[in-house]
Amino acid sequence: MRFSILGPLAAEADDGAPVTIGRPSQRTTLAVLLMHTGQPPTKAALINALWGDSPPGDAETALRARIRDLRKAFGPHDRLETTALGYRVRVLPGELDAEVFSSLVAHGRAVLDAGGAEDAARLLDQAARLWREPSLADLPDTPAMRTATTALLEHFRDAREWLVDARLALGQHHEVLGDVRAAIAADPLREHPHVQLMLALYRCGHKAAALAAYGRLRDVTARELGQDPGPEARELLGLILDDSPYLQFRPRALAASLDGRPVWTPLCQLPAPPADFTGRVAVIQELASLMPGAGAPGPGGLAACVPITVLSGPPGVGKTALAVRAAHLAKPAYPDGQLYVGLGGTGQAREPGDVLGDMLRSLGVLPARVPDSVAERAALYRSLLAGRRVLVLADDAASAAQVRPLLPGTAGSSMLVTSSRRLADLEGARHVAIAALTRAEAIALLGKIAGADRVAAEPDAAATIADACCGLPLAVRIAGARLAASPMLRLAELAASLRKPGCLLDELVVGDLSVSTRLAGAWSCLDADSRRALREFASTGRCGVPAGSAMPAVLRSLADACLVIDDPAAGGYRLAPLVGCYAAARPEA
């Protein structure tokens, strides 16, 4: 399960479906229990946290009633346990956002103190994104809870300041100005944000504004505290007045030794995983079994092959989100780094030589020392990764030829590939076909984007939307984004729009997200026979060739492009989600 208390209370099952905790009494009881996961509270402590100085007459009976009512709300997902002293919620590692937040902050601060500004910024930003507004919304307003929330909010403010420190160390002085000013407005007496503002303004070339920022800090501390700013601010003021060279930002040098040879620096280039990632539990477990440790040396020290896993599926099915999620979960198995490269897909496939050049430079090779030929670049790339445990995520591959030069040469590393083609010619790869979401998963994703309460209020309309989107994550995301952007739009109204003949794909557009645009890239790569076959499949609803028979070349081509899907249960093939709608709307040549 997942529990969230750094904002409005939320709970969800392992499959991503929301667990509805509706009544205020249920929500406050669960919130208090989740605030005490580290050490199970006594009944007296729970009563004090829930009711403060005004407990009910028979407080223990009232508490038992609260716990019984909460168990009913959990239903089959009940995690409540009775202890010798009271009650607790059983929470596994990584299931509670407050615990994940504390772990990320501790790790980020340690990395920042060790000089790893880039990794620290990533970790601290990931922690800050766990907070939602209104923060800690369901906690009761009792003295015990006010003390706990004050400590947690203080921890959040510390994390936000350390994140700005990391970003300043990376030279992002222009970018942090808005965040620092917001932090000062929220708490004018915290001195460190004023210091950060002074440094950022000075590095932006605004010395007068930096001095004015110190003046405002001096005024507020004199008015509210009757004293001057602390030593940190006074020291920075002196450096600014002297135009000290120590204040200038110095870009981090490329990792290279004195003789110019690259020195290994672990990287984490993975994009942030989607915050609303839903479902895929079985696939995540399968990927976990395929990647970590699979490339360990064999008997006698002989290297086993490098594990290659290809995630393939139709456009919009969520391959990248799944791969990024799986890669983040597998990070502990690859301590030497996680590399990410976008290969452009079938429409804008990148040349292997260009990709290798980018990879080598990111690994610390000086630009002047990047070889000219593709073969030399690939050899140097393999040399840099030799003997290390690195995960390479190659996203949106158009062909196996794009992927082969990126393969590490020795065991210990792994490669995860996403593609809208099956890449059957990639030697030694394990293939995982990614299917659409189930109806329950699609509804859960819709609820995460549009709001669980809105979805729960119109369950039939939510099911209609999920079915109209055919479980395609991109389509569900667009539908959810439209609802989130329009609070007055009812789910039933959107469902009716999606059901109108010929209007489905026109409705599945929001901003730069469009199902038609995504499918157009795959359509543009088809020859005339394949397009004609898709139109026929769309009009008849059948792909027409039993899976066990000799498959014509055109059907084999469509299957390789993941536009038709093997369906052994039906004894043939079926169209990928929404491909039929798109093909039927294409004019004849």
Residue 154 pLDDT grade (very low, low, confident, very high; cuts 50, 70, 90): very high
**3 state SS of 530:** helix
Bridging pattern class, strands 267-268 and 337-342: parallel
Residue 523 pLDDT grade (very low, low, confident, very high; cuts 50, 70, 90): confident
Q: What is the DSSP letter of 300?
A: G
**pLDDT exceeds 80 at position 468:** yes
If one compares 170 and 304, the residue with the highest pLDDT of the two is: 170
- 289-303: average pLDDT: 48
pLDDT of residue 280: 85
Asked whether 306 and 407 are in contact (CB, 8 A), the reply is: yes
**pLDDT exceeds 70 at position 266:** no
CATH of domain 267-433: 3.40.50.300
pLDDT of residue 362: 81
How many Cβ atoms sit within 10 Å of the Cβ of residue 161?
A: 19
pLDDT of residue 529: 85
pLDDT of residue 255: 43
For 9-116, strand residue ranges (E) read 10-12, 80-82, 87-89
Segments making up each domain of the chain, as ranges: 1-166, 171-252, 267-433, 439-511, 523-584
Tens digits of per-residue pLDDT, 173-185? 888 999 999 999 9
Q: Is the peptide bond before 371 cis (omega within 30 degrees of 0)?
A: no
Residue 262 pLDDT grade (very low, low, confident, very high; cuts 50, 70, 90): very low
Report the alpha-carbon distance of residue 508 to residue 497 in Å, rounded.
10
Give the lowest-confidence range in 6-15, 324-333, 567-576.
567-576
Measured over the CA atoms of residue 196, residue 200, residue 202 and residue 203, the dihedral's sign is: positive
Bridge-partner residues for 80, per DSSP?
89
Radius of gyration of the chain (CA): 28
pTM over 0.75: no
Fold annotation for 171-252? 1.25.40
If one compares 521 and 546, the residue with the highest pLDDT of the two is: 521
Q: Tell me the range of 68-77, 389-398, 523-532 where mean pLDDT is highest.
A: 389-398
Round the average pLDDT of the chain to a whole number and report it: 86
Residue 271 pLDDT grade (very low, low, confident, very high; cuts 50, 70, 90): confident
Asked whether 334 and 389 are in contact (CB, 8 A), the reply is: yes
Tens digits of per-residue pLDDT, 102-141? 989 999 898 888 777 888 898 999 999 999 888 888 888 8
Residue 461 pLDDT grade (very low, low, confident, very high; cuts 50, 70, 90): very high
pLDDT of residue 354: 92
pLDDT of residue 265: 59
Tens digits of per-residue pLDDT, 399-421? 999 999 999 988 888 999 999 99
Architecture of domain 1-166: Orthogonal Bundle (1.10)
- 462-488: average pLDDT: 93
Q: What is the DSSP letter of 248?
A: S
Asked whether 517 and 511 are in contact (CB, 8 A), the reply is: no
Report the alpha-carbon distance of residue 422 to residue 433 in Å, rounded.
8
Contacts of residue 279, Cβ cutoff 8 Å, sequence gap at least 6: 15, 16, 437, 438, 441, 444, 445
**pLDDT exceeds 70 at position 297:** no
Report the alpha-carbon distance of residue 446 to residue 471 in Å, rounded.
10
Please provide residue 268's backbone torsions phi and psi, each rounded to the nearest 5 degrees: -130, 100
Asked whether 5 and 97 are in contact (CB, 8 A), the reply is: yes
Report the alpha-carbon distance of residue 60 to residue 570 in Å, rounded.
58
**pLDDT exceeds 60 at position 543:** no
For 420-486, strand residue ranges (E) read 429-433
